Chains A and B, each alone.
Chain A
């Protein structure tokens, strides 16, 4: 079990550029979550999918953010255009959620927008 794999680990970009974060969930997990972590706001749920379908995107900050899950083994979070206030660590997590099973987090992507 390779765990949840996120890429890149670090991303530095200039304001206005497009940023794409990638996530490969654990095989067999049918729930996928995107979280953003900052000192000020803690761990915020942005969006989650069940069986590749977005269930709740109420945490997505604004239209500049979009997320897709084209298949069970891949998801992307895109920010276009990026702004300095988007700087944060973005975590992807997956779970089966059956029997209340926990979330398994990836190592995160540290995004810095200058």
Chain B
């Protein structure tokens, strides 16, 4: 029931792009993405409710393919502040949210 994230870790230089994937074995009601800095709580980035919907926030956007039960997070022109662990949370109904193992993103100058 837990979603699967890939890759486990990414190392980038400032200005480079990255894609983080999240897939589920079950039909999804919604997918949401969070970023967690070391020693802090996860912070909400965005949520996707409909199949094929893409949402964006500055240089971070995401897509949700309901049919394939997959979501992807796109980080463009990465900044040092993007470093952290990214989690996807998946909901098979309106209540329960389970999280993937996370993808650690390191952006170097």
User: How many angstroms from the CA of A107 to the CA of B32 in the assembled complex?
Assistant: 19
Number of residues on chain A facing chain B (CB within 8 A)? 22
Chain A residues within an 8 Å CB radius of B98 = 45
User: How many angstroms from the CA of A45 to the CA of B32 in the assembled complex?
Assistant: 15
User: How many angstroms from the CA of A56 to the CA of B40 in the assembled complex?
Assistant: 26
Number of residues on chain B facing chain A (CB within 8 A)? 23
Q: Would you call A48 and B41 a contact (CB within 8 A)?
A: no
Q: Is the interface of A mostly helix, strand, loop or mixed?
A: strand
Q: Which residues of B contact A (CB under 8 A)?
A: 29-30, 32, 34, 40-44, 47, 49, 87, 89, 91, 94-102
Q: Could you pull out 12 A-B pairs where Cβ atoms are within 8 angstroms?
A: A45-B97, A45-B99, A50-B95, A91-B41, A97-B94, A97-B95, A101-B47, A102-B32, A102-B44, A105-B41, A107-B41, A108-B41
